Amino acid sequence: MAKKHPYLKQKYIEAQQQWANGIQSPKQRWLARFDAVFGDHSFLRYFWTNLYQLDTDVWRSNQPSPRHIKKLAQKGIKTIVNLRGPSRWGSYVLEKEACAEFGIELID
């Protein structure tokens, strides 16, 4: 049985709280990206978007990165429905920030 490390987990959660109110500094941006890539495995979503059209105006995909959100905005996407819900992961705060920047409504 694997040994649990509650102290390390608590420290990791505390580190994620740095961007709870949005990204305020370059250091927070770097940490949020690092957390997204290695904590939330967003490096997998860099190459694989799972984007699929369900109907004329409805698409589905995995969680988009800020780069993908920019492309979605260019395609005319107006709303993203986040079925994962809000989270402390860096990928979420980066998604939220990109939606605001590119004029896409984010619904959790």
Beta strands in the chain (DSSP E): 52-55, 58-60, 79-81, 105-107
pTM confidence score: 0.84
Residue with tokens 């589905």: 60
Distance CA 61, CA 104 (A): 15
Q: Is 92 exposed, middle or buried (0-12, 13-18, 19+ CB in 10 A)?
A: buried
Among 93, 49, 92, CA closest to 72: 49
pLDDT per residue of the chain (108 residues) written in tens, 0 to 9: 456 778 888 888 888 888 888 899 999 999 999 999 888 888 888 778 888 999 988 999 988 999 999 999 999 999 999 998 999 999 999 999 999 999 999 999
Q: Please give the DSSP secondary-structure letter assigned to residue 75.
A: T
Among 50, 78, 80, CA closest to 62: 50
Question: In this structure, what token pair is assigned to residue 73?
Answer: 């905005």
Q: Please give the DSSP secondary-structure letter assigned to residue 35.
A: I
